[in-house]
Structure 1
Amino acid sequence: MNLDPTQLAALSAILRLGSFDAAASSLNVTPSAISQRLKALEEQVGAALVNRSQPCTPTPLGARLAKHAEDVALLEAAALGDIHRGGALPARLTLAVPADSIATWLLPALAALPDMLFDLRVDDQDTADDWLKRGAVSAAVTGHNRAVTGCDLHPLGALRYIATASPAFMQRYFATGVSAENLARAPMLTFTPKDQLQARWITAKTGRTLHPPSHQMPSTHAFVDAALEGLAWGMNPETLVRGHLDDGRLIALDPTLPMDVPLYWQTTRVMAPALAPLTTSILRAAKTQLRPSCDK
């Protein structure tokens, strides 16, 4: 089946921007033309590709075709040796990345490729590779050292976390020490239900599996702010809390027990040549911003 690139571009724009009008404006055509192109594509594949909601959302097949359109554009740009392609829309790349990587070390690597557009899907490092398994992204920062089938894997280093809390929180819950009994009752922070960092630290500290009360806080910087306000304790990237630890606004629950989380860059093998400049930038940034990893 040969798919019309203008129809694929219309689909991609609708889903990226959320409406037919916005897609038409971005492609410099009328909304009627966008509608006709999408209708023709849906007739060709024999299935609906877009849920006509506000904003528009993809059907499962629509998401796969939009990802295909993105890959084709990126491969064309790489083949021409010019990401920007002489005034055409910049190539767009969808990545799955952990929020803590965005907040600490990743953005300079992306900024090194100013003629590429990025669509970041935020997920925990332990589950970011699920996006690769579904074919929903072309690359991901993951926490697993085993490559997804059909992907290349590059070790990045480790992001160090420290269990931190405010002095008032420490006095309230840990005046007698950071024991299993005290950890079981002290409120902790979790990023999402997938977040296991706090649970892993508790086990490393106590040798036990505990289930403390927890606040769900899906924001890296809110994690730090919540700890500063005395709401709970949490695992925070060292680079974000080092100043607060130095000035006493935060205290490490156990200064001798940081947690180093190994990270890996995975790219789909078919896209790896086109992603080579980004991979180089990612590896360079990781080398300067992350700790060497002991993970093998």
Structure 2
Amino acid sequence: MTTDQGVLTSTIGVRWLRKMGVFAVVLLGFGSWALYDAVWKYPDRGRRHAEWAEWQYLSVLEEESRAGRDPGILTRNAPVLDPVAELERLNANPSANTSGSAFARREWLTALSRVGDLTPDNTGFSQMAPRQRKDALDTIWQTASQPSPLKAYDIPSQWLMMVIGYGLGAWVVFLVGKVAITKYRWEPGTKTLIMPSGARIAPADLKEVDKRKWDKFIVYLVIKPEVDRVGGQSLRFDTYRHGLVEEWILEMEREAFGSEEDGGEEASKTEASASASNESDASETPTSQAADTDSDR
């Protein structure tokens, strides 16, 4: 991006932005999926299982009525006026409630508790008598399959996954926004890099360009101590997130320290000069030895 004064402005890294976009979509989608499970899918399955467990409970009471030849057992024993206290009582001694109506009642109340429906309104049979309710459930569950019961952690775990998905997704969106508003500027004429804080760095201000993490798109500019505002600091740049910054840093490095090609040519010249000097010394040695021999004669 170029301003009217010819000053260039950094952009957001396109490849990095694509990657963050994928992360955001995946994380927010994961959170939405967990939200759907927590609000609709799991509660619906849990309520269907609770209804099936209620049908089982009433069926057991009806069998006990027939076995005891007491038609009033179903009507008297079916309602649970304080379901929370009753479930606590049944869970306090589970070994004593492994069969019969007590076991069926505990399964029913447990299923209701998993979906937050453990209230007297759902266990008191105030809207419909137990026998009528049993007949109504017969028409549904005699031909339907048993729903899978919910575990105690099923719904809470979905809420947790929703928080994780939405939380990380929001963090990615925030990070993208932060990078988008963090701008570096470049003056091509003076090869000066202007930091988001307004501090200016010219090639002459560089003490070192630290590229030890260049493969990870990280570079550090070590600034000379006398430079205003940023003197003596080692400034970190992420060239993957911020577009154009890599080109500017390389241009500053060439201006300050020369190009790698120039350095390579200089080294080659030095090596060639040293080699020529060695050859010259080697050629002079036999001549000197011959002269010494003649003088001895």
TM-score bucket of the superposed structures, by smaller chain: under 0.3
TM-score (norm 2): 0.18
Higher strand share: 1
Greater C-alpha Rg: 2
Higher helix share: 2
TM-score (norm 1): 0.18
Q: Which of 1 and 2 has higher RCO (CA within 8 Å, sep 6+)?
A: 2
